[in-house]
Structure 1
């Protein structure tokens, strides 16, 4: 990740917030067969010290990723989007891409079947609680446990992270306001979630 001091995020709480809001992650592993990437939802382990995530992969992804054998990188991609130079002040400028991203590093720990069941149940509950009548894994436990046998759960304590929030820092307040307005409700390339991230940075 490019090291631009004004964009670097060092606060672990901000990284936790990013994980909570953006659970769809990319797992990258440097294996004996070369780089392998897979995509799965992750959930923050709220009871752990520091930053720790839990998830699962479908078999045989655990073997392809060499899960538990060495360090992997998990990429969390937050809101992102195109920023046009036409949203600036008319002076010569080039387009850019604003984004919030975190790279998490650690060696996954393989979960027992009981722990995997608990994590899968919590993951389903986390998303199903939005519905008036949640469809929980434990409501169909026999079927759920049969499906679970095709998965491998893991916990990864994050030993280090690199995070970046590139959100038009260094631009004038007028330009920042115009970019946020375009992202909020412009006719082209609107990204309201990205505008909200910009407000978090520029209003603080």
Structure 2
């Protein structure tokens, strides 16, 4: 991913926090000679060897997994808040742009099987059920329900490279930077307000 130096984020703690908060990603590889992408949750974790990895699973009917063994190179894309930035918000003539946060992860993928799959399904369900009024637990599923796991292919991605960008108008002076934040907050759009909040936290 092209990242100007002013937009690079190399803060490991911030990137990990972002990945935990924006874990619904896009898994990209080459499948049957063409690029293939699947939208799925990809959870950041540490494997038994102490290496940072992404865990996930896809439907067995999805042919993407058929290329995992022959071509283990993978790209996982994670998007955060984004918003259009009108150049009418500047005190000078310029062009409109777009502010956004994104992370690309490159790594090697391998299929996993057995008890570790159930453990990661438990973690996944527990994470997203924690705010439910009546949370469900994998441990409480019947044997019949758990048989549905036969229809998935679980995998681990060993992370080789992380590219993270925060394009948040860092090239603007303080006056215009603050005005962009004010204008974003006026939109009453959740994405725009989220970008404004990120801009308030962004080091410049």
What TM-score do you get using the length of structure 1 for normalisation?
0.89
Q: Which moved more, 1:30-39 or 1:72-81?
A: 30-39
Go from structure 1 to structure 2 and tell me whether the alpha carbon gap of 1:197 and 1:68 turns closer, same or farther (over 3 Å shift). Answer: farther
Q: Which residue of 2 aligns with 1:197?
A: 198
CA shift digits 1:142-201 (9 cap, x unpaired): 244212111111111210121111000020112111111222233678622111211121
Describe the shift of the 1:21–1:201 C-alpha distance in structure 2 as closer, same or farther (beyond 3 A): same
SS of aligned partner of 2:81: strand
Partner SS, residue 149 of structure 1 = helix
Q: Which residue of 2 aligns with 1:94?
A: 95
Match of 1:73 in 2: 75
Equivalence for 1:34? 34
In structure 1, the residue matched to 2:152 is 151
Distance 1:184 1:65, change over 3 A: farther
Aligned equivalents of 2:43, 2:97: Cα separation in 1: 30
Report the equivalent of 2:170: 169
Would you say the 8 A contact 2:24–2:41 is kept in 1? Answer: yes
Deviation at 1:95, TM superposition (A): 0.7
Asked whether the 8 Å contact 1:184–1:190 carries over to 2, the reply is no
What SS does the corresponding residue of 1:132 show, helix, strand or coil? coil
1:106-140 deviation digits (Å, cap 9, x = unpaired) = 11121113111111111011000111321122221
For the aligned residue pairs, the C-alpha RMSD in angstroms reads 2.1
Structure 2 vs 1, CA of residues 24 and 63 (structure 1 numbering), >3 Å: closer, same or farther?
closer
Tell me by how many angstroms 1:47 deviates: 6.3
How does 1:131-146 map onto structure 2 within 5 Å? Answer: 131-146=132-147
| Structure 1 alignment gaps of length 5 or more | none
- Report how many aligned residue pairs link the two structures: 202
Q: Deviations over 1:44-65 (max 9, x none)?
A: 1156746421111111325456
Kept in 2: contact 1:137–1:144 (CA 8 A): no
Matched residue, 1:180: 181
CA distance change for structure 1 residues 62 and 152 in 2, over 3 Å: closer, same or farther?
farther
Q: Is the 8 A contact 1:72 1:108 kept in 2?
A: yes
User: Contact between 1:23 and 1:43, CA under 8 Å: does it hold in 2?
Assistant: yes
Give 1:31 deviation, angstroms: 3.1
Partner-residue secondary structure (3-state), 1:158: strand
